[in-house]
Chains A and B, each alone.
Chain A
Amino acid sequence: MNAFAGSIDRPNSYIGRSVSRPNAKRLLEGRGRYVTDLVLPRMLHAAFVRSPYAHGKIVSIDIEEAKALSGVRAVFTGEDLASICAPWTGTLDHFTNMKSPPQVPLPLEKVMWSGQPVVLIVADSRAIAEDAAELVIVDIEELPALADPVEAMSAAAMSQELADNICFATKLDSGGVEEAFDAADTTVEQSFIFGRHTAVTLEPRAIVADYDPSENRLTAHHATQTPYQFQDVYSRHYGIPEANVRVIAPDIGGSFGMKLHVYHEEMAVVGASILLGRPIKYVADRMESFVSDIHARDHRVTGRLALDRDGRITAMDVDDVTAIGAFSSYPRTSAVEGNQVIRLMGAPYDFSSYRANLSVVFQNKVQTSQYRAVGHPIACAVTESLVDAAARELSLDPFEIRERNLIPDSSYPRTSPTGYQFEKLSHQVCLARLKSIMNYDALRAEQAGLRQKGILRGIGIALFVEITNPSPAFYGVGGARISAQDGAILKLTPSGEVHCSISVTEQGQGTETIIGQIVADQLGIDREKVRVMTGDTDTTPHGGATWACRGAGIGGETALQAARKLKANLLAVAGLILQARPGELDIRADWIVEAVTGQQRISLAEVARIAFFRSDTLPPETQAQLSVAHHYAPQGYPFAFTNGAQGCLVEVDAETGFVKILKHWVVEDCGRIINPLLVDEQVRGGVVQGLGAAFFEECLYNEEGQLTNGSLADYLVPMACEMPDIEISHVETPTRDTELGAKGCGEAGTAAASAAAMNAVNDALVGHGAVLTQIPMTPTRILKALGTI
């Protein structure tokens, strides 16, 4: 495959070029149109009364005073919405024995986490709705909260529907682990804590739900990355025919996986709009975001490696306990992360004995679920920290131990001991490239020199494997109505331009740009002549949309195949007009040309004009097909795995525990690159989210299950002055499963950044008797590890 791979210098060859984003100009002028900005006629505003307790029984709710406030149009409690909304349950069938309590928009009997929405107020303005929220009296009998995951595992069930607090448990065992550990020359073991953090999209969650009873039609302007999934959810849970549900996702102010889960607030607002027959807007404020957006991670992991005397890994054994909050999220579930953690462990390395235990546990906190690089940072940090520990034990250089253990680039395809099928990865090339772009030997020399002066520099590296281009094996086989296919419609305009509507969505990563590049490239037209539309279920075909790194790989392939289909149609019409064989023609620079000589024959605009307005001049029976619809679903490998390596250079101040991140390097192989400019910025953004997890970001709770740092002043998000310059280098190993050859890159940055950072800090502290195995690595934790406090 990959047959198209033409020269980059051919006219209109846009694949592989750093083209800037046409839609960015709008955003730069303040002309973005986010859901937050939207105002509709007769629109009302929603606010919620939330649970102050992490766990409790609802005794009574008094809404009378709130209802009486001038400007309040309605107040809804659990029963009001449960009566029209079918409950949802966050399980997947292929996770055997997975369970979760059913959920409704607002609780009926119990509150399960602090911040859970309990009462919905609808008023003329958000301010009035908030005033009214203060007048609601919710009497809750507080119950003991299960905040700690390990305690929750053995505690009595907190949901009456379940027998215990285990959402899902599974084991993997490829055999030979005990024997390998018995025979090992060296073993290393570490225990890790990965705190909770959250996406902090700069635009909070937002929805304007607009139900029109006269047509039994719901329009949801929803800040989401997955409009089709929500079309399905609103349709099924509220009993509205799917074709009558329109979800519009215009400009989205960041999502990172956070904006694709079903949230109680959005469901409640949709229900309220149905009950009132008026548009209702809800925009979370930042405090609400902290207590109701999904959180991520929250893992306790122990891991062991067995090695022989040459430093070759012979076995790995891990145990992961992950706490997910009170419910498994819907429809993707909260078990996917743990599952990926145990399956990605050790992925870059060549060994066959692997054993893992996973326990996914309920607790009285807000749900955790899929957020950028689901499971990757955990698997990567555990693996890479253990490999570094082994290197220290064996007095091997971190590069050296990895070189000895990597899966050779020449040995693909192969299957990992955890069951993942790797088509082709490039670890050896990436590691060598990393070493050279870091100028590693010079860094080591500099480090030694500075160490003499008491300056503690640390160099950390980490290799990663990333899951991209997910097939139906991801969700579809588990019974979730989440599409693995995408669809595109290409229409030629009478002036010879092209309109493309496609199911992959844009949240700023540049989806519309790369789709435009691919279409223009394949059609041989100027990219300015391609208009790409995304994010509207009424005007784009159904598809999976953008998540789990599928926009370029699957959406891009859809666009490529659609463009080839349209091109064939255009050449057929042109052939009729020119009395030439279509196979002898081509399109270049908006002209139909002789394929061999490049000689211009007729402009595309002229072909369009004739086909649209003078079809009488075409031969009889001709029906020119100037719009095409095309769907594409991935086949072949269940996932397109990508890989890469990262390096991090830090300076640790042993007095204060502060870490200065001096520089970060990424070598990344996402297959064919469509737009290097966009890929690099995706990777950089991902690295910064990974470094945030490594050093700053943590949702802190007290023992009662109360979030104690739920504001942007208390929860630390990386800022410009704390972040280093990030150098990026690419290796290209296109997947052969598609013509395009592209894989994903959106999570690559996040996947290994915290692992590299952790290894760097531990490298700086070598000789100080301190090893950190908890992130974020705050100054306090560093000083504690050093024994200073």
Chain B
Amino acid sequence: MSGKVEISLAVNGETIEALVAPRTTLADFLRQDIQLTGTHTGCEMGVCGACLVLLDDRPVHACLMFAVQADGCAVETVEGLTLRRAIDDLQKAFHERNALQCGFCTPGMLVSAYGILASGGEPDRDGIRDALSGNYCRCTGYESIVDAIETTVRQRRQHVEEEKA
């Protein structure tokens, strides 16, 4: 095993300096080295979406990146999004609609949903289902998740319209 590499990155707004083995994935770094266990791993090959985090505000698979590649970047996890209340409305909609069961896919779903909403578009149900095609959920039937995201899209639009008026 080769020696460790020094990296510096912002995680959930805090600067982290760390020594990591080059083979450590970003997912393992977040979960093990800095104990942000909200990010989960279900497949470790970029398929299931449980490990999605934001890298410079774009959803990426933390299992497919090495921690060293995140050097100099801003990483945000479900904990960070929660802390800065960026997904309050999504979390509320998920909760009310029971859009989660075991909760293992949920952080990845929320990061995806954040991405869908941040893109500015207003996808319909089919659009939402399409956009979730990188997120596996084994417990729900997906419908509740689609409902929760749809509700949030609608509420945000209403909010924007109200502000305009």
Which A residues contact B (CB, under 8 angstroms)? 20-21, 24-34, 36-37, 39, 127, 131, 199-204, 251-256, 285-286, 507-510, 677-678, 681, 683-689, 711-713, 717-721, 723, 725-726, 749
Contact = CB atoms under 8 A, between A and B. Distances in A.
B136 to A, nearest CB: 5
Interface stretch (B3-11, B37-45, B64-72, B157-165): B37-45
A133 to B, nearest CB: 14
Which of B37, B96, B100, B143 has the most chain A CB atoms inside 10 A of its CB? B143
Which of B37, B104, B107 has the most chain A CB atoms inside 10 A of its CB? B104
Nearest to A255: B102
B43 A720 contact: no
Contacts, number: 179
A712 B45 contact: yes
Given A20-B96, A29-B78, A508 B1 contact: no
Nearest to B91: A28
A507 B102 contact: yes
30 contacts: A20-B95, A24-B100, A24-B103, A28-B91, A28-B110, A29-B38, A29-B79, A29-B91, A30-B38, A31-B38, A33-B37, A37-B37, A39-B35, A127-B23, A201-B104, A202-B138, A203-B40, A508-B101, A678-B98, A681-B140, A681-B141, A685-B140, A686-B141, A711-B45, A713-B43, A713-B47, A718-B142, A720-B128, A725-B143, A749-B141
Interface residues of B, number: 56
Which of A26, A127, A253, A718 has the most chain B CB atoms inside 10 A of its CB? A253
B143 A29 contact: no
A446 B6 CA distance: 65
Contacts of B151: none
Contacts of B32: 39
B50 to A, nearest CB: 6
Contacts of B58: none
A650 to B, nearest CB: 16
Contact of B43 (A687, A712, A749): A712
B94 A253 contact: no
Which of B36, B129, B141 has the most chain A CB atoms inside 10 A of its CB? B141
A125 to B, nearest CB: 9
A448 B23 CA distance: 59
B103 A251 contact: yes
Interface in B40-98: 40-45, 47-48, 50, 77-79, 82, 91, 94-96, 98
Contacts of B139: 202, 254, 508-509, 685
- Secondary structure of the B contact surface, majority rule: loop
Contact of B141 (A33, A200, A286, A723): A723
Contacts of A21: 95, 98
A255 B48 CA distance: 17
A21 B101 CA distance: 9
Given A31-B38, A712-B45, A720-B132, A253 B143 contact: no
Contacts of B50: 202
A37 B107 CA distance: 14
A30 B77 contact: yes
A285 B42 CA distance: 8
Q: Which 10 A-B pairs have the closest CB atoms?
A: A30-B38, A27-B103, A684-B141, A508-B101, A253-B104, A508-B102, A30-B78, A37-B37, A720-B132, A712-B43
Given A508-B102, A685-B140, A726-B141, A721 B44 contact: no
Contacts of A251: 102-103
A719 B136 contact: yes
A32 B82 CA distance: 13
A256 B129 CA distance: 24
B98 A681 contact: yes
Which of A25, A33, A254 has the most chain B CB atoms inside 10 A of its CB? A254
B107 A30 contact: yes
Nearest to B80: A30
A372 to B, nearest CB: 10
Nearest to B35: A39
Contact of A203 (B102, B126, B133, B145): B102
Contact of B142 (A28, A510, A723): A723
B142 A25 contact: no
A725 B36 CA distance: 34
A256 to B, nearest CB: 8
A729 to B, nearest CB: 15
B144 A684 contact: yes
B95 A684 contact: no
A286 B105 contact: no
B87 to A, nearest CB: 9
Contacts of B106: 27-28
A34 B91 CA distance: 20
A717 B48 CA distance: 9
